[in-house]
Every structure is written in C-alpha cells, then in structure tokens.
Chains A and B, each alone.
Chain A
Amino acid sequence: MKKVISVFLMASLLVPLTLFAGGANEVKSTASEKPVLVIWDQFFPESQDKLMNSFIEEFESSHNVDVQRTVYDTDSLRTTLRTSLTTESGPDIFYFDAGPAYLGAFASAGMVKDLTKAYADKGWNNRLADWAVGRVTYESKKYGVPHEIEYTCVYLNKTILEKLGMANILVKAEGFNDVYTLKTFEDYENLLAASKKAGYMPIALGNRDPGRGGHVSSYLIALTAGRDKIDSIMFGDNSWEDPAVVASLEIFNDWNKKGYYIPSTNSVSYDEANALFFNGTCTTNPTGTWLIADILDQAPNSGDYVICMIPSVDGNLPLAGGSGIGSAFAVSAKSKVQDLAVEFLDFITDKKNSEKWITQGQVIPANTEIDTSGMDLPFMMKQAIEGAALNHCYNLDVVMPSSFNDAWLSGLSAMVNGDKTPQQVAADMQKAWVSAKASGDYWKAK
C-alpha cells in the first residue's frame, strides 16, 4: 500500500513539472522531421486569409518545411507577442505594427532579427519603396519588411452624391488617371452640409474604439499642416500647439458641433460605423485604404464607393493623406529557423506574389517592381495603388508613442463630449510628446 501511495505521489509531482519542461532549445519539428516555421499574422479578411494559406502551401511544396500559421486580431497580437517573444515558443515570423512603440520597442530590446544583411543579400533595397523601408528602420538598422502601404482617404458613396446632385464635385487629380479629388476643401464641407440637410449622416465616424477618431485627426493635420511642418514637430523643435495643428482640431470639433458625425459618435464602434456606411446611411467615411478589402467583402454593392483625396484646407499644400505601412513582417531574434524565415519573406514579397497581394488580397504592397497597368482590379484598388505615389504625411498613431496617442485620442473623445477645447487637446499632446522624448520613448529613425 505504501508503495502504491509513493508511486502515485511521484507521478502527481512529475506531471505538473512536465508542463514547464520541454524542448526549448531544439528546433521545432514535426513527426516527419521537417523544421517548423511558425507564423503569426493578422490577415483575417477572407480574401487575404485564403491568399496567405495558398502562399504557405506553395512554399511548403518547394521547401522542406512545415509552416504553422495563426491569425490574430490586432489587439490580441499586441498583447500576446510581447510575452511570447521572450520565450522560445513564440513565432518565427510575425506581422506586427511597424511603429516605434511596437516593432521599434522590440527592436530596441533585441527581440527582433536585424534584417539589414538580408536586405543587401536579397536585393530588398531595390525591391521595396524607400520611404516604406524607412518606417521599419530604427537607429539605421532594418528590422522589418514593409508589406502593406496604406494611407488615410475619404470614401464617398456615389449614389448619395448623385441623389444630392453633387456628383460633379469629384475631379481627377492632376497627373493621375484614377485619383479623384475635389476642387477645394470647401467642396467637401458643402457636401457634408448638404448630406446633413438631406437626412444622411455626413461622416461615418464611430469613435468608441480608440484610434478611429485619430485617423480623421491625422488626415486633418495633413490637410492643415502638411508634411514639412509635421516633420518639424516630429524631428525638430516645433510644437504640437502650432496653429496649423490647432486648426485641424478645430475642424474636427466643428464637424462634431454641426452634427456631421454619427449621433453619439463616442458610443458607436468602428464596425458599427462601417456598417452604417455600407448600408447607405452615411455619405462619407474618412478612414483608410485598409478598408477596401472589407468593402469588397461586406458591402452589398462595392461599386457604390469611390476614394477621394481631399484638398488641403488652404489649397496650398500638395495632395496627401496620412500614410503608414500598417504592419510589417519581422523575424524573431529567438527563431531557430531564421534563414527559412528570410526565404519565406523573400518569397511572399517578390514581384509575382506582390501582384497576387494586389489582385487577390486588396493589399498595396511596398514592392516597386510591379506594373499594374494590365491588371483587372476593382476600381478602388486602382485608385489606392495610384494614390500611393502622393507625397503623404503620417498616420500618426502608428509612429507616435503610446502616451502621446493616449493624450491625443482621449482628447478627441473629450472634445466630442464638450469637455475639452482644441487648444487644450493640443497642449495635452505637446505635454505628452515632451515627456515621451525626455524618456527616450519616440521614433529615432536615424
């Protein structure tokens, strides 16, 4: 009896211990001895999910590897990656926010592989757009592979424009075939006023989810301040209390006071706002090119929508939105299959597959070798690809530190509720920026 008890106790001690053990220093392998490449990404729209799976299948067939892929939503990946990269059980490749607070922070901590040599070896310096590579460069080293060029823009519902008799306000941007704009910023404000009068909701803004108001605000800052001024704030000694920035916040606030946003916009989520746009309740949706895949997947009639780049407020700044590369691919510094990971990244960003990203995934890749002229693409995709050549500003929430974003985005919510003025929000943004710079928590591109 004593022996039985001893054996039982020993077993009950060993079982929990095995949970903490295990192969941490070995290359992950399957029963068939193939190395395993673990990928975590965010390609959950159906078209992108299928495309990624097809790439994996093709890569597996030509390489001795078993690829295990997990799809996360942005929020979950942000929290999960932080802890998993410190362990051996994290991914080999991950598709993650390229901003200094995200990929930059991992790069500073040595959790991400320096890909500078891979860029030289694989010719990525020639393949990928310079400015996009700049967004994954920290202290002169390249830590990611930019993949998805995106920028803020305004989607218009053409059917509503026609009903309002305002379809003629859309004009082609000079020098472009498919980029549409308006003659003046006032044309956009006139459209908003006419929509409101006709009973539509002029702007599909759902500000309950943090960041959505930030896209509108980023865009307005681009239209009032422009790239040079924003650079002088981010990389120079200028201030977020510059009159041009305050002017953008005043426009944001003014639109709220005029009732242009969805009623109680702070109570409405991003998905709910988009649903209202897709069902023809809202005239315009100032968001970004990342919505194209959702419009094509979810809107009853995707042909109803067109992308419009709004002119600057004073008409003197070049046509631009707030651009970013969203997320970028990166390789974990702890990966045991780094060479395979680089091979995979080279594979899915090459010319042939970049073209598939465009035609099947509705993604604008950073690959500059692609010629889209012969492609059969949805019109919005053609617009978005051609518009990528504009001299865009920044999608600020991706390049600014978290503490700045908190002050800015919370400030927008407070402004909507009438609890803060544009001047107060600008002051809060500047205070947070000064504090972040003092603690070194900001994007040091060079």
Chain B
Amino acid sequence: MDINRKNIKNFGIFLLPTVILYCLVMIYPLLNTVYLSFFKWNGIGVKSFIGFSNFKEILLDPIFWKAIENNLLWIVLSIINPMFIGLIISVLLSNITKGQKIYSAIFFIPVVLSLVTVSLVWGLMYNPIIGPVNKILVVLGGKSVGWLGDPKTVSLAIIIAGNWTYFGFCTVIFLAGLQSIEDSIIEAAIIDGAGGFRRFFSIIIPNLKNQVNLLVINSVIGSFKVFDIIYNMTFGGPNHSSEVIATYMYWEAFKNGRVGYGSALSTVLTLVVGLFSIIYLKTMEEKA
C-alpha cells in the first residue's frame, strides 16, 4: 500500500480513541506511580516530598532483598518446571491423533482457573492435618510437613501450585510449535539414521526457539508480577519468607499506609522488568 500523508492522517484519527484510553489507563497511572514514589504519603492525607529517600530505604530494606530473591526463584523454577513438563507432554501429544484435542483441553484447565480458586485448593492440599500431600508423605514413610508455615518450604510449595497453572499453557504453545515443524525435516533425519533423542535435541528443540523465547519472556514477566496466589495462600509470610515484590508493594501501600514507599517498590519493579525485557529481546535479535 502506498502510504501517503492522507493515509497517515486517517490512521492517526482511527488510532486516537485507543491511544487516549491507553494513556488514561496505562501511561497516566504509571507516571503517577513514579511521581508518588518521591513522596511520603498515607494515601489520604497530605503528601510530603522526600526526594529519593524511599529508594534509599529500599536498598537497605532486608524484606525487599528477600522479595527479590523469591522473585528470582519464581523465575528460575517457572522457566524450568512448567516448560520442561509442557515440552514432554506436547511431544507425547504430537505422537497421537486420537484424543489429542481432549487431552490438550484437560491439561489446559488449570490455566483458566482463577488463582484465588487455585490458592484455596492448594492451601487445603498442603494442610498439615487433612491435606492429601502430607497424607501421601506419611503413607510413604515420611513426616507431615508444614509446607506453608515453614520458611524453608513455603516458597517452593507456592511455586509448585503456581507452576501447575502454567504448564498447560506451555503444552499448548509447544504443541503448536511442534505441529509447525515440516514433516520432511523429520523424515530426512530418520533416513539419515538419527534416533529419537538425536531428532529431539538436534531438530525439535532448535525449531521451537520462538516458542521458547515467548514462554521465557512470559515466565519472567509473570514471575516478577506474581501476587494473587501468594497473597491468598500466605500473605507473604511466615515472617515475609514468601514475600515477593508485588505482595510487599501491596502490603506497604495499602496495609501499612505507605503509598509513597509502595510506589517506589512498584517503580523499581517496573524498571527491573523493563530492563530485562530490553536486554533479552536485543540478545535474541542479535542471535537471529
């Protein structure tokens, strides 16, 4: 299409309502949050300008660093676990024709569940008295564990519940990727004598690069933003051991009445996620 000045003007006019709405619900709140991070404010009284004090406090805040540690744990385990499980299941599904759609739908169910529902269900699953997880442990000769009450296990327990809601999404994405690999490539590999493992690592995995990139970015952003499941299962406890940036930011802003500090935490989170996205995409572009 020949884009001339008149077309550009029409494009602009058509885009304008959406741009205005986007600015109102996305850009304005973002800029307002950054603005608030330079103030001491309880959300209802007078704001006091305090410069970078909130950011200085963040650097010295042990709970912030614990939250970052937990976010990084979420990232690592949310990349490895659900993607690995999703890949295995998608490879298995790609080898069947009968029932493939039904199995895909079943594996996708956790993805569409509300995280509040997931929190309630897994909270009961982990219950030290009546939960099935501990009952199975005891039957196998182990001891009941306070999964959500022990700082050593709480983050892992919640991450497992969170990963459960994500592996179905990975399965569907990988399945679509597998189905887009040309049969001729696989057949050629078979003719050349490549076995199952060789085909998997040398042909299938490289051809799923785009899907892997998509899921990695999705996992990282989701892991930085994770909130509902942690808030509903443990409120970030015990003693902040399952805290992540989003829950800490919420707690400070809305429970402790420190909106300025919560905004500063939110600003830091935005910067970290933004920086990661830029670096990752640039790296992928260069590799391509």
Q: Which among B16, B44, B145, B239 is the interface contact of A414 at CB below 8 angstroms?
A: B239
Question: Given contacts A82-B254, A267-B149, A402-B255, is CB(A210)–CB(B237) below 8 Å?
Answer: yes
* Contact, CB under 8 Å: A12 / B17: yes
Which residue of chain B is the closest to A272 with respect to CB atoms? B127
Residues of B within 8 A of A83 (CB): 43
* Contact, CB under 8 Å: A208 / B239: no
Question: Restricting to A171-213, which residues have a CB under 8 Å from any CB of B?
Answer: 207-210
Max chain A Cβ within 10 angstroms of own Cβ: one of B144, B151, B237: B237
B235 within 8 A of A: yes
* Contact, CB under 8 Å: B13 / A9: yes
B150 within 8 A of A: yes
Determine the distance from Cα of A276 to Cα of B129 in the docked complex, in whole angstroms: 9
Residues of A within 8 A of B127 (CB): 267-268, 272
* Contact, CB under 8 Å: B21 / A414: no
* Contact, CB under 8 Å: A263 / B144: yes
* Contact, CB under 8 Å: A267 / B150: yes
B20 within 8 A of A: yes
Question: Restricting to B1-50, which residues have a CB under 8 Å from any CB of A?
Answer: 13-14, 16-17, 20-21, 24, 42-46
Residues of B within 8 A of A109 (CB): 42, 44-46
Instruction: Say which size band chain B's interface belongs to.
Output: 35 or more
A170 within 8 A of B: no
* Contact, CB under 8 Å: B150 / A406: no
B238 within 8 A of A: yes
B229 within 8 A of A: no
A153 within 8 A of B: no
* Contact, CB under 8 Å: A417 / B17: no
A218 to chain B, nearest CB (A): 18
* Contact, CB under 8 Å: A13 / B146: no
A268 to chain B, nearest CB (A): 7
Question: Restricting to B157-202, which residues have a CB under 8 Å from any CB of A?
Answer: none
* Contact, CB under 8 Å: B150 / A417: yes
Q: Report the count of interface residues on A (CB-CB < 8 A).
A: 44
A165 within 8 A of B: no
B123 within 8 A of A: yes
Report A397-415 CB contacts with B as 1/0, cut-off 8 Å. 0000011001000110110
Determine the distance from Cα of A111 to Cα of B13 in the docked complex, in whole angstroms: 42
Report B41-68 CB contacts with A as 1/0, cut-off 8 Å. 0111110000000000000000000000
Question: Restricting to A281-327, which residues have a CB under 8 Å from any CB of B?
Answer: 281
Which residue of chain A is the closest to B233 with respect to CB atoms? A208
Which residue of chain A is the closest to B17 with respect to CB atoms? A12
* Contact, CB under 8 Å: B148 / A266: yes
B147 within 8 A of A: yes
Determine the distance from Cα of A101 to Cα of B24 in the docked complex, in whole angstroms: 32
* Contact, CB under 8 Å: A403 / B256: yes
A16 within 8 A of B: yes
Determine the distance from Cα of A5 to Cα of B9 in the docked complex, in whole angstroms: 13
A80 to chain B, nearest CB (A): 9
B225 within 8 A of A: no
Report B238-281 CB contacts with A as 1/0, cut-off 8 Å. 11100000000000001111000000000000000000000000
Q: Which among A13, A209, A210 is the interface contact of B20 at CB below 8 angstroms?
A: A13
Residues of B within 8 A of A20 (CB): 24
B145 to chain A, nearest CB (A): 7
* Contact, CB under 8 Å: B239 / A267: no
* Contact, CB under 8 Å: B237 / A266: yes
B33 to chain A, nearest CB (A): 14
* Contact, CB under 8 Å: A267 / B45: no
* Contact, CB under 8 Å: A16 / B151: no
Determine the distance from Cα of A51 to Cα of B151 in the docked complex, in whole angstroms: 43
A30 within 8 A of B: no
* Contact, CB under 8 Å: A410 / B20: no
Q: Which among B14, B20, B45 is the interface contact of A16 at CB below 8 angstroms?
A: B20
Q: Which residues of B contact A (CB under 8 A)?
A: 13-14, 16-17, 20-21, 24, 42-46, 123, 126-129, 144-151, 234-235, 237-240, 254-257
Q: Which 10 A-B pairs have the closest CB atoms?
A: A264-B146, A266-B149, A267-B149, A413-B238, A267-B146, A264-B128, A109-B44, A109-B45, A402-B256, A267-B148
